[in-house]
Structures are given as structure tokens and as C-alpha cells.
Structure 1
């Protein structure tokens, strides 16, 4: 009988102290696991935001660079003769103007028919915008070109990406041009009246942040050489490119 009572005492459940200790340890393990999972989810969300911001900036930069490379393209350049040793009095290139102005740039290139208005990129209220319409390009015979597009459309999505900085800078503005040879020398017997070839190189800087998390910031910088180099008459007001 005595052994049976001792056996019953040994088979009793946990004491309240032991139960509380066990519950506390369990809660600590659960809290640590929840904290770990929460940290992983936060890092994953931040990583996805960083990737999205970087991809959006890269896509925008690619579009801008691809379009800027076309600046100055003119479908009638060969027939009219923007520059030719056989044609000393060519017409002006109506698409040569490229005007960078800090957070905006305006440029031209021939597209089709009458759709030859000035194009451009600008930053407005945290959104990159591209010009799609403006005053028509002047007819042949005048070198004046409009630099005021009138219609713009969004290039980036303001719901996911905020552009904080956009900068265009001519790192090489053609300040050291090369003379293009003409069939004849200048009246003075020199080459000072020969046209000048200016090679232009643009630096494009874009910075942006995620709309949902301003701490997620990215930037991208790229350089683009304008493929259609600028030919300048000497003097600039003249339409006589080479001595007659």
C-alpha cells in the first residue's frame, strides 16, 4: 500500500512553476521565429523595391539615350546636301538643334511627313515626361528651330517611382571643332572659312526613389554621343559652307 502511494505521488503532473517556465520558453521561441520571419519579409520587400526602382531607371535611361542618338537625323540630308564638297551652298539641317537645360532637353530629328516638331525630355513633379508634339519645324531655307514642345506624356509611373533629380550636361560641346575640307581655300588663302565639325557628348544623370519607401533610392548615369555631329558654318550666319 505504501509503495502504491509513493508511485502515485511520482506520477503527478507539472507544478505551476514548471508550467509557467515552459510557456515562457515557448513564447520566446515563437517570438524569435516571428521576428526572424518578419525581418526576412521586410528585407525581401526592400530588395524587390530596389530591383523595381533600378529597372525603371534603367528602362527610362535606355529610352532617353536611344532617342537622343537620333538627334539631327534628316532624311533629305543626302539629296539637299547638308555638307558636300560638290555642293558649296547646302541647305541648313533643320534638326541639328539640341538644347540641354539642366533638368530638361529639347532636340529634333526627322520622323515622317509633318511630324517633325521638337522633341524633349523633362522632369516635372517627380515624373519624367517626353514631348510628343510642338510647333512644326520651319521649311527649308531657314535655320531657326523651335525649342518649345507643347504636348508631353509621362515616361515614368508616378504611383511607383518618384524621380528626384534629372540632369543633362554637355561634357563635350564641340568647343574644339575640326575643320571640314573644302575644294577651295578661303579668299585669304587659308582655311579659316571652312565649316567646322562639332562632336557632341551628353551626360545624363537620373536619381529616383520608391514612392512606398523613400529610403529606397537609386541613381543611374550614362553618356551618349550624338551620332549626327553638328556642322557649323563660318561665320555662323552664313549659308555658304564652302568658298564658291
Structure 2
């Protein structure tokens, strides 16, 4: 906790200064609230709208957690399969790269046409967002295992499965957690985008209603909530990483 405080006070100070500048500029320049509300107005609106906003927040959190779990599990399974089957990896890895060149915002309407307005297209959107960072990070991690260690285990009579379980998987954990941290931040964005496909509740729905009625203060409430959720999910992955990877040296930074 002490180290987190020592590292965290500087960015917190910068954020506070930015909010102060924002507050002063909007007040002295008399910027209309519909164009750019002051932070104090956004905070007041947050308190006012919270009773109705809370259910939107809960819906987005549940959707994010479910999509993040499915996406990361899929990414890990695909990475393991491609690593253990080199010929399959050579055939499919370029396709995985190409799949990320399709903008999610363009793919979303097609998913609605193919699968309707239910939960499935939303899960697909979040899975696609979370899948790629985990899969690529895991594959890179598996390849970072020292060749001399692999050679030593082969000389000791270890099977391919034993080499993967005892050597390649533990060495890949730092890379896997790097992918998980990226996916954790992307998952919230993916959930909000998926809610634009026709949800009844969620931060994406709240943001759409607010923007259509020119309630810019409510749009900023949604934006700041998304940012905070992303930081919370990122922090959870960091804590899990510190807890699970105990063999790192004490002086090594994993954030």
C-alpha cells in the first residue's frame, strides 16, 4: 500500500489540477453547460441521477464481467492450441491478426442482423475485444521460454505436455497477465458498444439517451464512470498478478 501511495500521488495531483483548470475556464469563460459543463455541475448531476443510473451501472458491470471471462478464456484456449500445434498456428495466426482490422462499430450491425437483439451479439462483441490481447500475449509468452530449459527437460525424459505444464505455462504467466490487463480495460468499452445494439439497460443506453437530449453533463457522468470501471478492473488484475506470480523478485515492477 505504501508503494502504491508513493507512485499514485503524482497522477492524482495532475488530475486534480486538470479539474481545477477545467472548472476555472468554464466559469470565467461562461461556457454553456450544454457545450461543456463544469466538473462541479457533473458531480451534482451524478448525485441527482444516481438512483436511476445505478441499475445501468450494474447491468454494464455484469455484462462486462461475463464477456471478459468468455473472451479471455477463449483467447487462452486458442493460444494453447496454436502453441501446441505449430502447423495450425502457421495457418490461423494471420487470420487472427486480420480479424482485428474489422472495426467493432462496423461489425455490430451485422451481428444484430445475424443473431438478433438478444444477449448473444453483445457477448460476441466483448469476446472479440478481449480475445485478441490475451491470445497474442499468451503466444508470445510461450515462445519466451528459454531453449536451454526446454532442452534440459527433454533430456530428463519430459513429455511435451509436461514441458508445457511445468515450464512454458509458468514462464508465460507475466505475458498472459499483460494481455489480461489490456483486455480488462477494453472489456468495459466493448460492453458499452454492445449496449448500443438494443439493450434496455446499461451505461451505453444511458449515454445514448443523454446525448440525444443534449444532456452533456449526463454524458460526462457516463464517461467518467467508464473510466473508473476500467481502472477498477485493471487494478483487480494487477492484484491477482501480484498474488499468483510469487516467484518474481521483490524489486521488479509488474504494473
TM class, shorter-chain normalised?
Answer: 0.3 to 0.5
TM-score, with length taken from structure 2: 0.32
TM-score by length of 1: 0.33
Identify, as 1 or 2, the structure richer in helix: 2
The structure with more strand, counted as a fraction of residues? 1
Point out the structure with max Rg over C-alpha: 1
> Which one scores higher on RCO, CA 8 angstroms, separation ≥ 6?
2
